[in-house]
Structure 1
Amino acid sequence: MILVTGATGTVGREVVSLLVARGERVRAVSRTPATAGLPAGVEVVAGDLAEPASLAPQPESFWAVVERAVEASGAEWTFLRPVGFAANTLMWAGQIRAGDVVRWPYGAAARSLVHERDLAEVAVAALTSAGHSGARHLLSGPATLTQEEQVRAIGRAVGRDLRWSEMPLGEARQMLAAAFGDPDFAEIALRGWAAFVDHPEQVTDTVERITGHPARPYADWAADHADAFR
């Protein structure tokens, strides 16, 4: 793990990008993690060098704990680190089956969602071919689409003109807290979408490098799952 302070500065941001490109594990310190806009896969933690108390150890994410446990086991390992799953947009299925409008927050949040088939193919390659031991593969789709564009893609897949309606943030916070049963998790989700408005999610070529074919676009995922939205 490499810790980068000043990670959102002119030089620090470049350092983080180069380390990620080399497959290094990076932890970045930022005063405002929600708006850091660093590449996917980077662990962003809150801290201010001018306030030493802010640098005290913080509870780690669940997946960071899992990865460390796997590494410490002595077994051979490969980590697959996907960006958001395209399948997560099934959360809109109820609204789409009921009408032509999806009401949700942060329509301008741009993500490079990955098709579950691509993730599975990379997993199989890592399990059955050489060269993946100790690798950390960051997986994404082939391009970014805003959440509003994702809804339109679903509309094309089902042959309907779907529209986006921006949900006020306060209402979204209450709705997600109720849906997740955890206000803190709801807040994390909202911060993530907010960050993707100004800093679209990273696109990688990992799927193509490992499988030999480009990552499947979101439109393909929508077509594959069209029945879920009808």
Structure 2
Amino acid sequence: MSDAPGRAPLLATFTRGLWRENPIFRLLLGLCPTLAVTSSVENALGMGLASTFVLLGSNSLVALCRGFIPRKVRIPAFIVIIASFVTVVDLVMHAYFYALHRSLGLFIPLIVVNCIILGRAEAFASRHGVGSAVLDGLGMGLGFTLGLTALGAVREVLGSGSLLGLSLFGAGYQPLLVMVLPPGAFLTLGVLLAGMNRLEERRAIRAGERYAPPREMDCGSCVLCHLDDVADEVARAS
């Protein structure tokens, strides 16, 4: 199908996932892996890059097939597409990055139900051409990876006194154990969110604008936000 009906400015499509609609810091999506696997930079990068690959692949294929998937079965179809790419990631990581694969564990298969990936397939890729869908997937994936890496770096430095396995403070450093535990993930995310919101507020003030955190991710009819509508569709179909 032609890209014209849903064409979006390509640069804006790519960059909005990096900051303005960053999945973690601006939209608070994908928090399950965000809080669970960011105890180190290595884990964070592994999860982020795996998710980026799935986003790229699923967005591309959904955009290619958008004219052939009936509306009533689009969500199951999207999940099958996403699951196919997750299977590829899982097998590759098991074969070539076994230690990382073991460290991430169950969270690799759970990429299938990551709301960022299904949300972008429904809200963007199914309504735009392949080029825009690829840039959207790449931007959102890199934004997710950057967010995970930032969290992982802070938690690893404070909780282990190291970065990527390299000691930073010497043998006398007393690590903050809480930072590598689940409460440390919540504390780190909260501090980083507060910092980003403060930066955005100051930018808005300088520009003479009124600052308001984003409330949605360009998904006016996304199934994730309109489950009642989906239930009605299923009831009518049956």
TM range (shorter): under 0.3
TM-score, reference length from structure 1: 0.25
TM-score, reference length from structure 2: 0.25
Q: Which has the larger share of strand?
A: 1
Q: Which has the larger share of helix?
A: 2
